[in-house]
Structure 1
Amino acid sequence: MNRKAGCILSTMTASALLLSACSGGGGDDNAAGSGKELTMWTWKVAYTPGFEAAAKLYEQKTGVKVKIDTFTPDDTYRQKFQAAANSKNLPDVINWWATAGDSIEGSVLELSGEIKDDVLGKYVGTAMDPIRITQSQVDSWKTDKNATTVQKGLKVGEFYGLPLDIGGFFTFYGNKKLLEEAGLKAEAPKTWEEFVSMMEAVKAKSGTPGLVFGAKIPDLWENWAGSALSIMHGGPQGYIDLLERKAKMSDPANLPVVKAMETLAGKELLMPGVLSTDIDGADQAFAAGKAAFDLGGSFTMSTLLAMGMKPEDIITFPVPPLEGSKIQAWTTDPFTLTQLSVNKDSKNREAALDFITFMTTDPEAAVAFANGAYTVPAVNLGDHAKNLDPNLKSISDTFAKEPGPYSEASPAINSLRGKHKEWEVYAQALQSVIEKKLTAEQAAGKFDDTMAKLEASGN
């Protein structure tokens, strides 16, 4: 599943793109020659205020201005990048998805010889993981007939960007106004059962459904909420046992997690039409006040704000545990969302390098960017974390500083949940639970029966 962290707000005309491609890039003699202005591109509309806030600090520090241009949606941005790369007209700095081998490497500066450990040590532990080239990637590209020439030329340990922000799933968003109108305190529930009671109170007061999420995607619930409920309830090993086919979904340790969805459906707390609602549609419905809560990730905040909500109108909290769970508070390991790279042909190379280092490691710049963009920075903020917007601070606090319960289960999740087809059957069965066509016991039984048949056939 694609890491959804941005907002698709507008589509530019072809003529506007063509005009844009001919101006403002790293090849612009006026800006590049002066040494007083850097150019930067992003596709993240919601991030632009954050970039502008950090750029203002950089100008105050160095006297160098940073001109930021935003192009959306994703495909438009990729096409614009490729056209500018072909004509060597890229900007000095490029904001890109945090990934290695995305074939931008032929156009941006390789940084392993430029950025040393004193800088890399400032990021959260896993921030560089998706950016740095690994041996397994090199081996894979070497034998992959579809690998690009750029990919085949990459070497282990190289990296072509610095991590800008991090994110994670397992986050609920609540509408403060609806909660307060229902006589509730706008604060995080301590348990799943308390969460359900909050939804019931809102529905009783205003008729507004309790929860919306992108249920059109069958496995989204398990990826963004169900696995957290399971890991907290039975511990990481309990979920690993389920993945390794050493346990059943109908076991007393696992069935309460299935019943959590049955409760939402039975009490009619889900937004009508939720099964035809995708991720964007869920966010739009929540922003429009059509549900009291929305399931998303840390990246959802910037989307909601771009849709017109205000930070003070929202509360955020991680998936709350079922009563009796072994783990009473959820933490998850964050992943890197985006990176900053430098045009290898930039006439302002040193200034561009200095800027991306400043943007990604200076605590004041990171906080300014984060609060403007509503995303969590990839740098270890230390005491500066207290200056984050309260919602961002709440999200940041759920990110594990050291490997946590999700880390323990994630190897089995990554290797087995997609491989073992009973999970596909379970995802479909949960959708039938939402429709009230199956009970929790029946959905768990479908999982167990499919697992047994697959094992018997050697699959």
Structure 2
Amino acid sequence: MRTHRISAALALTAAIVLTASACGGGDSGGGGNSSPKTLTYWASNQGSSLENDKQVLEPELKKFEAQTGIKVKLEVIPWSDLLNRILAATASGQGPDVLNIGNTWSASLQATGALLPFDQAAFDKIGGKDRFLESTIASAGAKGKDPAAVPLYSMAYGLYYNKKLFQQAGIANPPATWEELVADGKKLTSGDKYGLAIEGGNVSENVHNVFALGMQHGTGFYDASGKPAFDSPEAVAAVKQYVDFLANDKIAAPGNAEYAANQSVTDFATGKAAMLMWQSAGANLKSHGMNPDDYAVVPVPAPAGATGAKATTSMVAGINMAVFKNTKNLDGALNFVKFMTSDEEQKTLNGTYGSLPPVKAAQSDAAFSTPELQTLAGVLAKSAAPLPQVASESQFETLIGTAVKNLLASAAAGKPVTEATVKDELSKAQQQMPAS
């Protein structure tokens, strides 16, 4: 999903319990067709403003109405409110027909039983499951269960670097390993300019980055049985590596520990930082006045020679589209999902938002042939992994992201960051996880 704060994540367990009894669940036949001419759609804020999203989406919804006779009532919801709204809807059973969800929430919301499972029959109605990139389907629900949503917009993390600053520092090539990144970062750090910008006060950014590092160290933060393993030696090593960019390597500014509103993107765009790890940042950088010719993008580093899961360089980022199981227009809702994930709409919408189509055929469009998007498409297809698809995923995001935030704040204040202090913070996070 795009970077945002998840204010209601710790309420999700209670919502799961409430919704399981309120909505029932199991089979995909809970919806009906008593209102065949109308749909309500909750869209997440993808553009520069809520109004911008309306300007993008309303013409497309009118196309759908012209084709089907179904009128779609649109509401664009800011990320700060979206999860709260969804939780209230799942608990009450009074939700929209179709909605956007951050893809990392898929398994958590799936556990409420409120969303329509996309079984074979449902996928057949929208054109088939094999149209989507495998990695994006993997971020649509728990393993072994029918997905609770389908991918709509996709993103991946890349390492953005300022070509001019690299040239001035005498660095010929972008870093391919973490050792190279730290060494380059030190060459690029001088005065009030730093080698790397991070968004240390942003819980989501923190967890996205340490998850990829965790995979490289051999952990997905859960053990093979699905239980949290937040303070394992592998998790400690991953978190310490990330915090050390500020704490010990000193290639990120102390003030980065407080960044929570895309300030790291601003620092990169204005030349205050030479490198940035971000998900599909091109549109954001352009809005800050940065010329695409001034930077380039490569995959985030991985350990030399890493293969399989240890070669993970990004979480699978993006937005999924779900259908409420108790919709009063099931056929229309599935038809709308088919429309929004059609090749043409995927090209239009992802092209506008600067994201990648999760629909394979749409990626061949010229709009996605820029060097940046080609690099990120390669990451998404080859070295991205979904965050843990478990019911407690939202709590995992909040607790681990907050633990990293606390450690970065300590480092910025001059306090030492050691394996022991990292393990202690991660152990506290694990103790706050609800019982299974």
TM range (shorter): 0.5 to 0.7
The correspondence for 2:182, drawn from 188, 196, 221, is 196
1:116 is matched by which residue type in structure 2? D
Partner of 1:294: 276
User: 2:198·2:256 contact (CA, 8 Å) conserved in 1?
Assistant: yes
**1:438 matched to 2:416:** yes
**Partner deviation per Cα, 1:90-138 (whole Å, 9 max, x = no partner):** 8x986555558979x9999998666417522212235456667999xxx
Alpha-carbon spacing, 1:286–1:67, altered in 2? closer, same or farther (3 Å): farther
**1:396 matched to 2:377:** yes
Measured after TM superposition, the shift of residue 190 of structure 1 is: 1.1
Equivalences for residues 182-261 of structure 1 within 5 A: 182=169, 184=171, 188-204=174-190, 207-217=192-202, 221=206, 223-232=207-216, 234-235=217-218, 243=229, 247=233, 254=237, 258=240, 261=243
Partner secondary structure for residue 393 of structure 1: helix
The CA RMSD measured in Å over matched residues stands at: 6.0
**1:165 matched to 2:145:** no
Cα distance in structure 1, aligned partners of 2:77 and 2:117: 26
Partner of 1:124: 133
Alpha-carbon spacing, 1:67–1:434, altered in 2? closer, same or farther (3 Å): same
Measured after TM superposition, the shift of residue 200 of structure 1 is: 3.5
Cα distance in structure 2, aligned partners of 1:365 and 1:230: 35
Which structure 2 residue ranges, 5 or more long, are not aligned?
A: 6-36
Q: Which has the higher contact order (CA 8 A, sep 6+)?
A: 2
Partner of 1:12: none
Measured after TM superposition, the shift of residue 164 of structure 1 is: 0.7
Cα distance in structure 2, aligned partners of 1:413 and 1:433: 32
1:124 is matched by which residue type in structure 2? L
Partner of 1:44: 45
User: 1:236·1:405 contact (CA, 8 Å) conserved in 2?
Assistant: no
Alpha-carbon spacing, 1:371–1:115, altered in 2? closer, same or farther (3 Å): same
Measured after TM superposition, the shift of residue 398 of structure 1 is: 1.5
Equivalences for residues 19-418 of structure 1 within 5 A: 42-46=43-47, 48=53, 55=60, 71=76, 73-74=78-79, 97=102, 99=106, 115-116=123-124, 118-125=127-134, 127-128=136-137, 162-168=150-156, 170-180=157-167, 182=169, 184=171, 188-204=174-190, 207-217=192-202, 221=206, 223-232=207-216, 234-235=217-218, 243=229, 247=233, 254=237, 258=240, 261-262=243-244, 264-266=246-248, 268-298=250-280, 300-322=281-303, 326-327=306-307, 329-332=311-314, 334=316, 336-339=318-321, 356-362=337-343, 365-381=345-361, 384=364, 388=368, 389-400=370-381, 410=388
Measured after TM superposition, the shift of residue 444 of structure 1 is: 0.9
User: 2:199·2:263 contact (CA, 8 Å) conserved in 1?
Assistant: yes
Partner of 2:8: none
**Partner deviation per Cα, 1:191-246 (whole Å, 9 max, x = no partner):** 22322343344434x8522222221257954x2334434543x5459997994877
Cα distance in structure 2, aligned partners of 1:97 and 1:425: 21
Alpha-carbon spacing, 1:189–1:49, altered in 2? closer, same or farther (3 Å): farther
Cα distance in structure 1, aligned partners of 2:43 and 2:410: 41
Alpha-carbon spacing, 1:243–1:386, altered in 2? closer, same or farther (3 Å): farther
Which structure 1 residue ranges, 5 or more long, are not aligned?
A: 8-31, 136-155
Cα distance in structure 1, aligned partners of 2:99 and 2:428: 50
Partner secondary structure for residue 121 of structure 1: helix
Cα distance in structure 1, aligned partners of 2:56 and 2:282: 16
Cα distance in structure 1, aligned partners of 2:241 and 2:150: 43
Give % identity.
20
Alpha-carbon spacing, 1:387–1:272, altered in 2? closer, same or farther (3 Å): same
